[in-house]
Amino acid sequence: MKALIQQNPSDIASQVADYFQRSIGKWYSERRYYTLPEGETQEVASEITVEFLEQGSPELINIAQLHQLDDPTIITCGSKINWKSSNSVSGKKMAEGSTVFGVSQTLLYRDQAFMTSKPVVAQYYMLDANTLCLRTEYNGSVFEEELKLVGQRYRTRQTIISRAGEQTMIGQYLEKRIE
């Protein structure tokens, strides 16, 4: 993975901290998941709250412990995401929960992920000041994500999930800031 902006790990960590700070707030997310190769589609809406976490916060110390890191201060910043999701078509509630991200140089530690409740680690880079890219591998699957801030009020996301070299799902998101 190669970032198009500064390559120094401490500079990249500073850039992702700025990205997380600019993501603070409440968002309304509309997303569509395409299952491949069948093309089955699922539409989901979520209310999302994004908080910024500073180095040494209890949530980041917990992330360090979950990942058995010797020095919890190695995690320089992070973000906590809370969500409530429902099926966009039926309105049926689907899930609610939270996840915590912690940054250490070019690694992003998570307390859990999309398809597991276990802690995971992602490699990340900043494509530019507004675009965060992640690559996570677990349970035989690869998750490639791109999150892009579009001005102050919008964010787009795209996730491509692969297994055994074959793409199995694409998720596309439009998130609108509501606070």
Block mean pLDDT (10 aa), the chain, length 179: 56 90 97 91 94 97 96 95 87 88 94 86 94 95 97 97 94 96
Q: What is the pLDDT of residue 10?
A: 67
Give all strands (DSSP E) within 8-76, no chain letters: 25-35, 41-54
Q: What is the pLDDT of residue 12?
A: 83
Joined tokens for residue 18: 């700025």
Joined tokens for residue 174: 């439009």
| Phi and psi based region of residue 93 (left: phi greater than 0; alpha: psi -120 to 50; beta: remaining) | beta
The DSSP element (H or E) to which 19 belongs, if any, is helix 9-22
Give the type of residue at 118.
Answer: K
Cis ω for the linkage preceding 72 (within 30 of 0): no
Predicted TM-score (pTM) of the model is 0.89
Residue-range domain boundaries for the chain = 9-177
Q: Strand 77-87 and strand 120-128: pairing?
A: unpaired
Q: What is the pLDDT of residue 1?
A: 46
Q: What is the pLDDT of residue 7?
A: 61
Residue 104: count other Cβ atoms within 10 Å of its Cβ: 22
Joined tokens for residue 97: 């929960």
